Amino acid sequence: MAIHPTAVVDSQAQLGADVSIGPYAIVEGGVSIGDGCEVSGHAQLLGTVDIGEGCKVGPGAVLGAFPQDLSFDRTQFSGVKIGAGCDLREHVTIHRSTKPGVVTTLGERNFFMVGAHVGHDSQVGDDNVIANHCLIGGHVQIGNGNFLGAGAGFHQFVRVGDRVMVQGLTACSLDFPPYVMAAERNRIFGLNSVGLRRAGFSKEARAEVKEVFKLFFRSQLRLQEALGKARERIWGPEAEQFLKFVGGKSKKGICLRTA
């Protein structure tokens, strides 16, 4: 374990094997850091933060700070949980939950570039690439294997499915279904076909995903009409995931606007 002499590490913090903590970093007592993690200089781990093994926390990153919610009671218990293998670069910020006993959650192997932000009560899946200064509001749900472009903004309570590619500076206030490419303001520009191939989707699975995409985005049917027609047959798991998403509970509505 290598802790720089200028770092401030509470004696109650739990540190795994081979953890390194850089100069002027702050680690509070409710923090748990897994084996092999690197915490860079000037990073702050505040409140209750649980970090999985093999993570990297960049210079000036702040994890577990109070949520940006005027009604939040600072005396209540909440926190942040981060899965193994995440790389959080310079000045990344992740806020704790607003609800007692609840945590803002990041899955495994996520790469957050400089200045990216995750708001309170959000849930981020695995293997996502979140580019510079991407802004994820409170209560947002992000799936797996997505690429969210630099400066893209996600309004509170938005959902994003799996394998979605979002262009930089996109404004997102509706739910984006799995496998799509999004840009501008709530606009979908087609399927993320390259991403599906790279993810190992079979030719048959990609063909089914293309079918359901056409049904919802090219047929001129309304959402419930398209769902009803889709349920007339049995689909593979990849296409079924798309249908489950668009048929699921949504607070913001499904984005069906295409270029």
Beta carbons within 8 Å of 89's beta carbon, 6+ residues apart: 58, 61, 111, 112, 113, 114, 116
Sign of CA dihedral 148, 185, 254, 251: positive
Token duo for residue 144: 């797996």
List the one residue out of 110, 111, 140, 109 whose CA is nearest residue 123: 140
Neighbours of 251 (CB within 10 A): 10
What residues are annotated to the active site? 120-121, 138
Q: How far apart are CA 131 and CA 47, in angstroms?
A: 26
Task: Say if CB 61 and CB 44 are below 8 A apart.
Answer: yes
- Strand-pair partners of 185: 171
Task: Say if CB 70 and CB 48 are below 8 A apart.
Answer: no
